[in-house]
Amino acid sequence: KNEVEQSPQNLTAQEGEFITINCSYSVGISALHWLQQHPGGGIVSLFMLSSGKKKHGRLIATINIQEKHSSLHITASHPRDSAVYICAVDSYNTDKLIFGTGTRLQVFP
């Protein structure tokens, strides 16, 4: 079992839909990251959070430390949101990130 698991693996949506991507982890963490990766592109950090909720534009990230679960929400989705969204955690005992396998999102007009 992977230490960081994401669901769904693939997600398609119509423009304007509300989207949720989930991440569960099994290790103790100091922080959790949501990252965005476009095809052929590098990785962009969207959020780094250790508790509660953060919002940036149409993106919202929440984390529940007790349940070891985080969600990334996209409101009013747009085709330009199409990308792979990756959850990664900073585990307590190391300074390296442990990554999920990503969720591939496609938003159609």
Partner 1 sequence: GAGVSQTPSNKVTEKGKYVELRCDPISGHTALYWYRQSLGQGPEFLIYFQGTGAADDSGLPNDRFFAVRPEGSVSTLKIQRTERGDSAVYLCASSLGPGDEQYFGPGTRLTVT
Residue in 19, 35, 74, 89 binding partner 1, rule: CB under 8 A: 35
User: Residues binding partner 1: what is the number (CB under 8 A)?
Assistant: 23
CA dist., res. 87 & res. 79, Å (int): 21
By CB under 8 A, tell whether 10 contacts partner 1: no
CA dist., res. 43 & res. 107, Å (int): 19
Q: Least separation, in Å, of the C-beta of 15 and partner 1?
A: 26
Q: Least separation, in Å, of the C-beta of 57 and partner 1?
A: 18
CA dist., res. 39 & res. 89, Å (int): 22
Sequence-ordered list of residues with C-beta below 8 angstroms from that of 40, at least 6 positions apart, any chain? none
By CB under 8 A, tell whether 90 contacts partner 1: yes
By CB under 8 A, tell whether 101 contacts partner 1: yes
Beta carbons of 16 and 76 less than 8 angstroms apart: yes
**Which of 19-27, 60-68, 74-82, 94-102 is the region at the interface with partner 1 (rule: CB under 8 A)?**
94-102
